[in-house]
């Protein structure tokens, strides 16, 4: 049996975030960050089946994914100037994600019969605390500061 895959995937993932700074001293702060995100995508897969004459393209049903989530990330910040900061964060300390997938292919027989493709839909919800912590170091520019802190 001889076949090749073709995949066309399109995804968009916008998000917003905010960080609150709690002073420890004039230049050091504890931070609390929140991140909210959304994702939406389509996956168009097919395979070219060479066993038939002529070779036949066998399309899979379009798979769609929609997800949303958010997380809270504590950290530290050091401000060597009034607007620039060196930051350290523990990402995904507390997080929630929900993903819905429709028409996900789970089995097929690699024949030229598109009816052999079995799909299902599912929704996955996850809530995690301190799982998959990802520490990051960064440099931030703060646009908005409370008055009196300049």
Q: Which domain holds residue 46?
A: 3-141
Residue 32 lies in a domain: yes
Residue 147 lies in a domain: no
Total domains present in the chain: 1
Per residue in 82-96, pLDDT (tens digit) is: 899 999 998 878 889
Residue 146 lies in a domain: no
d(CA 89, CA 126): 21
d(CA 50, CA 71): 47
Residue 149 lies in a domain: no
d(CA 89, CA 92): 9
23 pLDDT higher than 80? yes
**Predicted TM-score of the model (pTM):** 0.66
Q: What does each C-alpha distance from 107 to 28, 75, 103, 117, 140 come to in angstroms?
A: 55, 44, 11, 6, 47
Residue 107 lies in a domain: yes
Non-local CB neighbours of 99 within 8 Å, separated by 6+ positions: 39, 65, 66, 67, 123, 124
3-state SS assignment for residue 116: helix
Residue 58 lies in a domain: yes
Residue 20 lies in a domain: yes
Mean pLDDT, the chain, integer: 84
Non-local CB neighbours of 54 within 8 Å, separated by 6+ positions: none
What percent of the chain stands above pLDDT 90?
44
Predicted pLDDT of residue 150: 45
Residue 148 lies in a domain: no
Residue 66's pLDDT band, with cuts at 50, 70 and 90, is very high
d(CA 105, CA 122): 11
């Amino acid at each position: 049996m001889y076949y090749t895959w073709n995949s066309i995937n399109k995804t968009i993932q916008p998000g917003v975030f905010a960080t609150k700074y709690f002073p420890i001293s004039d230049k050091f702060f504890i931070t609390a960050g929140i991140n909210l995100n959304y994702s939406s995508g389509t996956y168009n897969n097919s395979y070219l089946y060479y066993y038939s004459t002529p070779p036949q393209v066998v399309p899979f049903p379009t798979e769609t994914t929609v997800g949303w989530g958010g997380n809270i990330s504590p950290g530290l910040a050091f401000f060597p100037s009034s607007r620039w900061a060196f930051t350290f964060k523990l990402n995904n300390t507390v997080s929630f994600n929900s993903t819905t997938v429709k028409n996900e292919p789970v089995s097929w027989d690699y024949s030229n019969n598109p009816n052999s493709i079995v799909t299902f839909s599912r929704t996955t919800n996850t809530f995690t605390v301190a799982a998959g912590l990802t520490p990051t170091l960064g440099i931030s520019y703060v646009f908005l500061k409370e008055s009196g802190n300049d």
